[in-house]
Structure 1
Amino acid sequence: MKIVLFPGRNLSTTAIAAACDAVAGYPQRLVQRIGHPVMWIGRLTDMLDRRLNRDTDSDPVRYRNGFVAMSIIATVPCATVALVQVLAFRRLPPPLAIIAGGILGSSLSAQRSLWEHVRAVSIAARQGLPQARAAVSHIVGRDPAQLDEAAVMRAAVETLAENFSDGIVAPLLWMSLGGPAGAVFYKSVNTADSMIGHRTPRHDRFGFAAAKLDDLVNLPASRLSAVWILLAAMTMADMDARGAWRILRRDAGHHRSPNAGWPEAAMAGALGVRLSGPRSYNGVVSHEPWVGDGRADLTPHDLDRALALYRRACMLQGGVLVALSVMLRRAWRARRPS
């Protein structure tokens, strides 16, 4: 069963998905009525966690069952959407099938949602520290009560950089390779990792497969997201593109995550600030290394600059998707026999 008929279709679908997400996002009414694809994947993950990860199981059994669970999570949603893709291209005119795929695929990107959540932190910070802590608590896992204003701003910028990679660049990259089914595969892996890929007594063995597969599928997007941030910084007068390149080369590999350090280092260098560093999770201090060598006392203005850089990077990515789609479509038409 052939899914990808020619690369231009997947790129066109991806470009439409990126545009729909930027303009409208995922409507809250749909969330209330039918939920969100990530919520559906989450329910599948939770069900497998309860059934295959029992407290009485030994570590080897949990380890094995984790691979079984991850196989189901990664294949069932992807295969379902792949079937829908094939049926759409068989029963609809290609332009309508591409548009439908783009609208469906837009639910798997978080461009507008990420902007709104991080922008809310900037707005709240101007109202006071308690409001800023409350706003940032919706997007980070660290203890907000322990954060001063600078730490709140750093947390928001770090979240913006990391989620630009795994919430936007990664699903769009996988969509450009495999259409909506490719993006669903990625979101399934990423959602499973966020739920079970933790080093806790319950999930250390069971979530091993999810954590490692998530590291693997995020690897290309994390590098690409750093490129988008670097290119965006080159087009903005108040950004330090040279600093972004220098910090990227120096600090990207020092992060606790094999992938998150790339967009975070590029963002820190472009803004001329320091990110990461020590932080507290559930009362336990984690002594993470600093990323960047600029100021650590970030302000709401720095968060606004980060949002502007993020928006420019999203625009560059969208423009490249459109350009590549048009080029490939023209090349395909030129090769067709007349």
Structure 2
Amino acid sequence: MRASLFLLQNLGTTCLASMTDAAMGYPQALVRRIGHPVIWIGGLIGTLDRWLNTPRRTPCQRRLAGFVAAGVIAALPTASAMIIARLIRHLLPRWMALPVTAVLASSLVAQRSLHDHVLAVAQAADESLPAARIAVSHIVGRDPEQLDEAGVLRAATETLAENFSDGIVAPLLWMAVGGLPGAVFYKSVNTADSMIGHRTPRHEAFGYAAARLDDLVNLPASRVSALWIILAALTLPGMRAGAALHTVWRDARAHRSPNAGWPEAAMAGALGIRLSGPRTYDGVPVAEPWVGDGTPALRPDDLYRALKLYRRACLIQTLAGLSVLGLLAWRRRQRTA
């Protein structure tokens, strides 16, 4: 009985956090005044990187230090979130505890922020290529000066698909499983991967544990995110749900990432475009296979279509969460009647 109540509370937090983020996002005034949870987690990661990842250590020592760092990065913020969640439950009345927890948890979801950043790229592309390059530089790691208009739009679409999984589906799934601490655990692991999980001379060894842990915790969400995109394509005219399913089946596992290929393949198939492919990072050309069968020559309208698909996928995810919440609440009521 207690387990079912715990799950109900977590699902309630998840649904309310998702709707809160979609409606409001994280106010920039708060970022300027107190920062953001990701910024706080990033401060911890940066400190551990400076302390443990020193040049005098051998690659083996760096890898071992990286395992220690990954453990601290995952455990310390999660433990802090557990204390906060417990204080909220004990200090606030029950009717107030859930919405307060949900508002705090909404800061770990990026529906509104991701949408607005990608929309800025589409709007900039309507104006000029230099404006589009500036806009896309805020959300991708590759050199925007090497991108033509189609390259800018592909980069933005890939970011939209990948971060739908990493920034929305994954934290909400972990929130549904573990409440606020579950979402904080995921966000800590994901932030560590984005900061130190790179195959560079400095982080090749030290970031190994963070990168592998991130692959593991993102595995369920990447598959679920592809499902939401396929279901969204089913509900929108002009989208190709069958092609999305086929592209996921054929191309997802060929992607350089064990997880990003799933939502990217679903989006490429649904929109009838090609994503991924060759690109340049820090001046170094990287040969990547194409995902999808359509044209790689994207136009701004394709990015607007991708945003429409993204919004529908977010809506379907929220409705699915509410449906499960309602079903569990009904079953619990039946058992206690």
TM-score (norm 2): 0.98
Cα offset for 1:98? 1.1
* Aligned position for 2:26: 26
SS at match of 1:126: helix
Separation in structure 2 between the aligned mates of residue 52 and residue 118 of structure 1, nearest angstrom: 36
* Aligned position for 1:177: 177
What are structure 1's unaligned runs of at least 5 residues? none
CA contact (8 A) 2:197 2:210 kept: yes
CA contact (8 A) 1:3 1:82 kept: no
* Aligned position for 1:220: 220
Cα offset for 1:92? 2.3
In structure 2, what residue type is equivalent to 1:148? D
1:5-25 CA distances to partner (integer Å, 9 max, x unpaired)? Answer: 421110000000000000000
* Aligned position for 1:80: 80
| Superposition pairs of residues 4-153 of structure 1, within 5 angstroms | 5-153=5-153
* Aligned position for 2:286: 286
Separation in structure 2 between the aligned mates of residue 271 and residue 238 of structure 1, nearest angstrom: 8
Cα offset for 1:82? 1.0
Alignment identity in percent?
61
| Superposition pairs of residues 320-335 of structure 1, within 5 angstroms | 320-335=320-335
* Aligned position for 1:205: 205
Cα offset for 1:321? 1.1
Cα offset for 1:90? 2.5
Separation in structure 1 between the aligned mates of residue 331 and residue 30 of structure 2, nearest angstrom: 38
Separation in structure 1 between the aligned mates of residue 326 and residue 103 of structure 2, nearest angstrom: 19
State whether structure 2 residue 164 is matched by structure 1 residue 196: no
Cα offset for 1:4? 8.2
* Aligned position for 1:310: 310
1:172-226 CA distances to partner (integer Å, 9 max, x unpaired)? Answer: 0000000011000000000001111111111111111000000000000000000
SS at match of 1:280: strand
In structure 2, what residue type is equivalent to 1:115? H
1:237-261 CA distances to partner (integer Å, 9 max, x unpaired)? Answer: 1100111011010000010000000
Cα offset for 1:330? 2.2
| Superposition pairs of residues 290-301 of structure 1, within 5 angstroms | 290-301=290-301
Separation in structure 2 between the aligned mates of residue 95 and residue 310 of structure 1, nearest angstrom: 32
CA contact (8 A) 2:241 2:269 kept: yes
| Superposition pairs of residues 254-293 of structure 1, within 5 angstroms | 254-293=254-293
Separation in structure 2 between the aligned mates of residue 155 and residue 63 of structure 1, nearest angstrom: 31
CA contact (8 A) 2:150 2:299 kept: yes
SS at match of 1:285: strand
1:19-55 CA distances to partner (integer Å, 9 max, x unpaired)? Answer: 0000000000000000000000000000000001111
Separation in structure 2 between the aligned mates of residue 96 and residue 286 of structure 1, nearest angstrom: 51
In structure 1, what residue type is equivalent to 2:203? H
In structure 2, what residue type is equivalent to 1:327? L
Cα offset for 1:112? 0.2
Cα offset for 1:334? 2.4
1:98-144 CA distances to partner (integer Å, 9 max, x unpaired)? Answer: 11111011000000000000000000001111101111111111111
CA contact (8 A) 2:4 2:332 kept: no
* Aligned position for 2:245: 245
In structure 1, what residue type is equivalent to 2:296? A
Separation in structure 2 between the aligned mates of residue 332 and residue 43 of structure 1, nearest angstrom: 42
In structure 2, what residue type is equivalent to 1:106? S
User: CA distance change for structure 1 residues 178 and 4 in 2, over 3 Å: closer, same or farther?
Assistant: farther
Separation in structure 2 between the aligned mates of residue 274 and residue 223 of structure 1, nearest angstrom: 19
Cα offset for 1:58? 1.0
Separation in structure 1 between the aligned mates of residue 143 and residue 86 of structure 2, nearest angstrom: 46
Separation in structure 2 between the aligned mates of residue 289 and residue 145 of structure 1, nearest angstrom: 22
CA contact (8 A) 1:124 1:132 kept: yes
Across the two proteins, how many residue pairs are aligned to each other? 336
Separation in structure 2 between the aligned mates of residue 27 and residue 3 of structure 1, nearest angstrom: 34
In structure 2, what residue type is equivalent to 1:34? I
